């Protein structure tokens, strides 16, 4: 089955800096790559996603890039703010098959 690896496990940045989280996946048939944000005491929430027919997608301060050949995708957060502090999960899935998640990255934005 699909295996998703995520790095780094923890990331600390100064407010206003950029943050980058990277993930790799194993199954070349995967075609959907979402990113979820989990705040303390809450369930994960989708923040951005990308499909295999797109190389990059941007939504305000966040962007995701996908390299199908290398089987890796990344989340980029620019101009980080303290409210960006949370645990971020990447995931990969094939059509309507189950979604497999990475181990998560704890992002801390220091004011």
Minimum distance from CB of 46 to other proteins (Å)? 5
Sign of CA dihedral 45, 41, 79, 70: negative
Q: In this complex, which beta carbon is closest to other proteins, that of residue 83 or of residue 98?
A: 98
Q: Residue 13, class by beta-carbon neighbours within 10 Å (0-12 exposed, 13-18 middle, 19+ buried)?
A: middle
The C-alpha atoms of residue 56 and residue 41 are separated, in whole angstroms, by 31
Sole binder of other proteins in the list 21, 30, 35, 44 (CB under 8 A): 44
User: Interface with other proteins includes 111 (CB under 8 A)?
Assistant: no
| Residues numbered 47-106 forming contacts with other proteins, rule: CB under 8 A | 49, 89, 91, 93, 95-104
For residues 92 and 50, give the distance between their C-alpha atoms in angstroms, rounded to a whole number: 10
Q: Which positions lie near other proteins, rule CB under 8 A? A: 1, 6, 9, 32, 34, 36, 41-46, 49, 89, 91, 93, 95-104
């Amino acid at each position: 089955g699909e295996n998703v690896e995520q790095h780094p496990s923890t990331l600390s940045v100064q407010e206003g800096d950029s943050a980058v989280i990277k993930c790799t996946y194993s199954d070349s048939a995967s075609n959907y790559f979402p990113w979820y944000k989990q705040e303390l005491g809450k369930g994960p929430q989708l923040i951005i996603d990308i499909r295999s027919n797109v190389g990059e997608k941007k939504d305000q301060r966040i962007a995701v890039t996908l390299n199908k050949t290398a089987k890796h995708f990344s989340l980029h957060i620019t101009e980080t703010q303290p409210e960006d502090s949370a645990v971020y999960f990447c995931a990969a899935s094939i059509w309507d098959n189950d979604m497999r998640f990475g181990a998560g990255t704890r992002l801390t934005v220091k004011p």
